[in-house]
Structure 1
C-alpha cells in the first residue's frame, strides 16, 4: 500500500487495555504491527492517513472497547514537534529492521547456492524452493506496509529476484526433466471454432476459456463432455484441458500456459495470470502471488452458485477479464 502520491497526513492512535488477560494486549499489538503502525511517543501509535488505515483505526477502537479498554484516534495534517521527514524515517527504520530479518534468513540459501556453484548436487531442491517461497511471502507482507518505499526494501527485492533467478538457473537439470516442445499455432486457423472441454470447469478451464475468447478466437463457442466421450467427437472441434486434447497439460505446464505459448501471447498481464493459474492448478510452489487465494475463493463461489457449466464459464471469464484489466 503506497501512500507517496496520496498522502493526506497522519493518524494518531491512543489506547489502553486492562493488564489482564495478557492475550488481549498481545493481540492488539500484533495487529498494529501487521498494518505497519509504529510507536510515536509512549503508547501513541502512528500511521499514514489512507482510507484503509482510517478504517483499521475505527475497527481497532471498537476492538479495544470490547475488551474493556479505552481507545481513540485522530487525523492530523502534521505533528507539530516533528517534521514529516522525521516521522517517515521512523517508518523506514522499522521496515528496514523487518527487512533485515528476512535478509538474515536468505543467507543460508545464498550459502547453498554458492555450494551448488562449486559442484554440489541439488538434492534438496524442494527444501530450498520452499525456503525461497517462505522468505518471499514474508517480504511481500513487509512490502505491503512499506508505505514510503524504503531504499532497503528496494535493494532486498532486487537481491531476492537475483537469488531466485540464480537458483532456478542452477537447477537447470530439474527444469529439463519437465521441459517440452510446444508446437507454434496460428490464430487464423482457429477462428469460429467450438472449443470442447471437461464438465464442471474450474480454474484452468475458466482461465483458458477467457484466454481463447479474448486473444485467440473471439467467436469461440464452448461445449462440455465427459472425458470418456472424447472419441465420439466429430471433426472441426478443438479440445482443451482434457486428456489427449489438442491443448492440455504438458510437462509442468497447465493448459493456460500451453495455450499462451502455442499462440505466442507475450502480454505481461497474461503472464501474471498464467502464474496465478499455475499456482492453483499445478500447486508446485513455482510462483507466489498475493492475489491467488482470493481468486481461488471467488472461483469456488462461482461453482457453488452457477446454474450450469456455461453459466460457470461465463462468470469465470468475467473474473479473469477484471483481473486482466486491473493489471494493465
Structure 2
C-alpha cells in the first residue's frame, strides 16, 4: 500500500464528476449513485465525486453522462492534478476509509458463516452446508468486486483475503452456486450484414474492452473486409457517408439502454451464437459495471487488456492485439 500511495502522491491525477438529475423518478438518482459506487467513486464534497484518473474511468464517466442526459439531467467531469484545499494523501485516505468500511461489512457476514460452519462440523445437515456454501460464494464475488475498486490496497482487504482463503478450504467439499441473468430486451433497428461490406468502421481513440470486442465481432461476423479508424467524438459529423461509427456517442452502433455496444451489435445483426453470448456477458460486466453478470474470467481478461493498452505502439496496434484476445476467447467457448 505504501508503494502505491507514494506513486500516487508523485503523479496523482483525479477525475472530478458532477451531475444532477430530475427529482422524479427517484430511481434515476439511485441508479446513478449505484453506478458510481460500483465503479469505486467516493463523494468528495456535496455533489462532487472523485475517481483516480485512468482511461477506464474516463470512458466510464463518458457513458455515465450519456445516461444522465437520457434522464434529462446534466453532468460533467474534469481531470485535475492537485486539488486546492486537500492533499492527494488525504484523498487516498478517504478511498481507503471507504474500502475499510466495505470490507468490515463483509467480514461481519463471514464471521457468522464461520460460526455456522463450526456447527455443521458438530453434526449439521448437508442441506444446511450447501446453503452456507451458496452464501459464501456470493460474498466472495462481492469481495472480488471490492478488490477491483480498492485502488490503494487498503490493509483490511489483504487481511480479509487470507480469511476467505481459509474458509474456501473449509467449504471445498460443499457445492457452490452460480447463476446468470439474461440480457434485457431492447428494441433496436435490425441490420443486414450484406449492407455493411467493405466499410470503414470509426470509433473513439484509445480502444478498450467494448471497442476491442466490437471490432473483433465486426471483422469476424459482419464485415470481413472492415477497416478501422479512430476519431474524436466531435469528428463524427465529418465522416464519409459509407463509414459506420460504433461505440461512440452519436454513432450508428453504440450503447442502447443497458446494452453495451457488443450486445447492441449482436442484436442489430441478429447474430445468435452460444460462444458469443458468453463473451457478451464478460464484455458487459467489464464495460457497464452494473452487476448484471458475474464471470470468473472477467478479471483475467481485463488484466490482459490493461497490459495491451500499456504496451501497444498505437491505437491500431492495441485494437489488433485486443481482437486477437477475443478470437482466442471465442475459440475456448466453441
TM-score, L = length of structure 2: 0.50
2: CA distance, partners of 1:185 / 1:321 = 23
Count of residue pairs the alignment pairs up = 191
Within 5 Å, give how 1:56-135 maps onto structure 2. 99-103=130-134, 134=142
TM-aligned CA distance change 1:104 to 1:299, over 3 Å: closer
Q: Name 1:267's counterpart in structure 2.
A: 273
Residue aligned with 2:247, SS: coil
Question: 1:184: Cα distance to partner?
Answer: 1.1
Counterpart for residue 227 of structure 1: 233
Match of 1:113 in 2: none
Q: Distance in 2 between matches of 1:218 and 1:269?
A: 19
Instruction: Give ranges in structure 1 of 5+ residues lacking alignment.
Output: 1-92, 107-129, 170-174
Flag as ranges the 4+ runs of structure 1 deviating above 2 A.
93-100, 102-106, 130-138
For 2:168 and 2:270, the matched residues in 1 are separated by: 35
In the TM superposition, what is the alpha-carbon distance from 1:99 to its structure 2 partner? 3.0
- Corresponding residue number in structure 2 for 1:320: 326
CA RMSD of aligned residues (A): 3.6
Q: Which residue of structure 1 lines up, in the alignment, with residue 293 of structure 2?
A: 287
SS of residue paired to 2:214: helix
CA deviation profile, 1:100-119 (whole Å, cap 9, x unmatched): 3135689xxxxxxxxxxxxx
1:297 and 1:104 map into 2 onto residues whose CA distance is 27
Change (3 A) 1:244 1:102: same
Counterpart secondary structure, 1:244 = coil
Q: Secondary structure of the equivalent of 2:270?
A: coil
Residue 203 of structure 2 corresponds to residue 211 of structure 1: no
| Distance verdict in 2 for CA 1:131–1:181, change over 3 Å | farther
TM-score, scaled to structure 1: 0.51
| Change over 3 Å in CA distance of 1:314–1:103 after alignment to 2 | closer
**What are the equivalent positions in structure 2 for 1:131-210 lying under 5 Å apart?**
134=142, 153=175, 157=177, 161=179, 180-210=186-216
2:252 is matched with which residue: 221, 243, 246?
246
User: Hey, what does 1:298 align to over in structure 2?
Assistant: 304
Distance 2:140 2:228 in 1: 40
Query: In 1, Cα distance between the equivalents of 2:223 and 2:209?
Result: 19
1:203-243: CA deviation from partner (whole Å, max 9, x where unpaired):
00000000000011111000001111111112100000010
CA distance in 1, matches of 2:331, 2:229: 26
Quick one: structure 1 residues 135 and 193, their matched pair in 2 at CA, closer, same or farther if it must change by over 3 Å? same
In 1, the alpha carbon distance for the partners of 2:191 and 2:168 equals 42
C-alpha distance in structure 2 between counterparts of 1:131 and 1:100, whole Å: 13
Indicate the residue corresponding to 1:7 in structure 2.
none
SS state of the match for residue 206, structure 1?
helix
Cα displacement string for residues 269-328 of structure 1 (whole angstroms, at most 9, x for unaligned residues): 101110011011100000000000010010010001101111000000000000010111
Shift of 1:264: 1.0
Residues 66-88 of structure 1: CA deviation (Å, up to 9, x unaligned): xxxxxxxxxxxxxxxxxxxxxxx
Write the distance in 1 (CA, Å) between the matches of 2:195 and 2:275. 24
CA displacement 1:165-199 (0-9 Å, x = unmatched): 6xx89xxxxx6xxx631111111111111100011
In 2: Cα distance, 1:316 partner to 1:96 partner: 44
